[in-house]
Amino acid sequence: MKVLMEKDAQQIAVEFIKRRKNSERIDISSIEQRNGCWVVKGTCPIDLEGHPWAEKFEVVVDAKGKIKSTDFSLL
């Protein structure tokens, strides 16, 4: 089985956020390994009724490259 590297986990999370939030600008603030999974944290811009906001996210990617969980909240 292929070992999931940090850059692979980051790419999986970025592609997921781009599709889910329809945003091209994704800012990664940290990547850490926790309990055998990669935790990718960062921010992305969103548009709420014509007003720009920043939204922070946390995406957990398991060792197989699957999204295990996500968390989004406004800053």
CATH topology of domain 6-74: Nuclear Transport Factor 2; Chain: A, (3.10.450)
pLDDT tens readout for residues 9-58: 999 999 999 999 888 899 999 999 999 999 999 999 988 888 889 999 99
Closest by CA to 57, choosing from 24, 19, 22, 14, is 14
Model pLDDT, residue 23:
87
